[in-house]
Amino acid sequence: MSRTILVTGARRGIGAALAVGLATPGVTLVLHHLAAPDEAEAVAARCRAAGAYARLVEADLSVPAEVLAMAEAAGPVDVLVNNAARASNVWIDELPLAEWEATFAVNVTAPMLLSQALAPGMRARGGGRIINVTSATVRLGGPSGPSYVSSKAALVGLTRSLARALGSDGTTVNAISPGAIRTEGERELAGGRPVDEAAVDAAILARQAVPRRLDPDDLVSTVRFLAGPDSGAVTGQVIEVGGGLVHR
């Protein structure tokens, strides 16, 4: 069955793993990036090697007009994966309003606008799938700052609201909640400071039931299920993929 899948933030990390994991013969992957065509093209090449078609779209998701232009450029989309996120570890005593608003623009407003723009087409084709990538920080708190955690909590609310609104159209809306996934962003959240990777690993493993660090590929099978035909009765859910991560 030919389907079109739009993955935001697909140039690396979780987005790249999900894009490649969803690439099957006949599927078209629309891979969003921002000012990183070479990295995104490398992901597209991996998707093509799996037998899928793949093309790139560029947009600044903090700008609503660019979000809507990307939705139009993507064309009819059957599966929307809202993965792109703005990370923030600015704490409340130093948090400027502009940082709060920029984080919400990318992490909440962009998924809402894409869902709003693409849902009518899904309805016309008998339904679709919307999958939002939230975060275990919603349940656990830190280490990210309040704008990131609050925006991801808002994305959970959007997921559940859209599930109710779009269910009668045959469109399901779910979220995955990654735990401590080893990505490039782990270093970036350190603000450019050196990271003691062994210490980070030890601290995380002490809080996980699964005795190994998780990587983006650990999320792929859950997203494949949510994007596929067997998940038609699953909607409004937040599935945590975190190896049993707990707060400690």
Catalytic residue (one of 148, 172, 186, 222): 148
Sheet holding 28-33, edge to edge: 53-58, 28-33, 4-7, 79-82, 129-133, 172-178, 238-241
Which whole-number Å values give the CA distances from 73 to 4, 8, 173, in the listed order? 12, 13, 22
Longest dimension (CA), the chain: 52
Joined together, the tokens standing for residue 64 give 């609503």
CB 13 within 8 A of CB 215: no
Whether residue 53 lies in the annotated active site = no
Where do the DSSP E strands lie in the chain?
A: 4-7, 28-33, 53-58, 79-82, 129-133, 172-178, 238-241
The tokens 């990654």 sit on which residue?
A: 178
Residues forming the active site = 148
